């Protein structure tokens, strides 16, 4: 299963995927390419470290969505990889119909809450403010509605009394780093 990763930040979830691949825990999945919409994103440095081509693609003209010429550039670059799965690992852009249709049923996202609770930005902060006793992370298929696609799997973490944003973020990230590679491996086996 050919995998392309899209990310905007430091790349900790992409690193978890690549470490799982190196350790033989990614099933029949193989990451073939990493793309970022940020020229200085840490995720791009993972390419050289793990022997996977990693490139910046200009997302202009918009700051938060992928549309117009930027969307066309991303579609062309990803399509050239002939992916079976496109993994959004901290990709901070809203995908529009053109991209979604080009890779229909092949795009998954990792979100830091137990969806449908706390979709959108600052999910960990939302969970903490709401006073929930449990949160976690969700891997789901990407659809036009943000964080509303079919849920593939979730991992739960408890919210302890006195929990801080930083401590809860660390717990959710640890759960994400376990969940996402596991889901990719299962999908590569047809699950």
Distance, in Å, from the CA atom of 123 to the CA atom of 170, rounded to the nearest integer, reads 13
Residue 178's φ and ψ, nearest 5 degrees, are: -85, -45
Distance, in Å, from the CA atom of 122 to the CA atom of 187, rounded to the nearest integer, reads 28
Q: Which residues contact 143 (CB under 8 A, 6 or more apart)?
A: 100, 149, 150
Tokens representing 34 are: 């990493």
Q: Does residue 111 have an active-site annotation?
A: yes
Q: Which candidate in 111, 140, 173, 177 is catalytic?
A: 111
Pairing of strands 54-56, 65-66: unpaired
Distance, in Å, from the CA atom of 36 to the CA atom of 59, rounded to the nearest integer, reads 9
Give catalytic residues, as residue numbers.
111
């Amino acid at each position: 299963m050919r995998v392309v990763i899209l990310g905007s930040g430091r790349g900790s979830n992409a690193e978890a995927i690549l470490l799982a691949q190196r350790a033989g825990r990614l099933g029949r999945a193989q990451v073939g390419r990493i793309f970022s919409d940020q020229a200085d994103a840490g995720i791009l440095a993972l390419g050289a470290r793990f022997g996977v081509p990693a490139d910046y693609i200009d997302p202009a003209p918009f700051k938060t969505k992928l549309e117009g010429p930027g969307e066309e550039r991303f579609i062309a670059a990803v399509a050239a990889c002939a992916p079976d799965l496109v993994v959004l690992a901290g990709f901070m852009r809203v995908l529009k119909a053109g991209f979604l249709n080009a890779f229909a049923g092949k795009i998954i996202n990792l979100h830091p809450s137990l969806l449908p609770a706390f979709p959108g930005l600052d999910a960990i902060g939302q969970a903490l403010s709401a006073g929930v006793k449990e949160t976690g992370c969700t891997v789901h298929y990407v659809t036009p509605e943000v964080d509303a696609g079919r849920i593939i799997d979730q991992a739960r973490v408890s919210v302890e009394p006195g929990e801080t944003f930083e401590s809860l973020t660390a717990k959710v990230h640890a759960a994400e780093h376990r969940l996402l590679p596991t889901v990719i491996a299962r999908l590569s086996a047809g699950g």
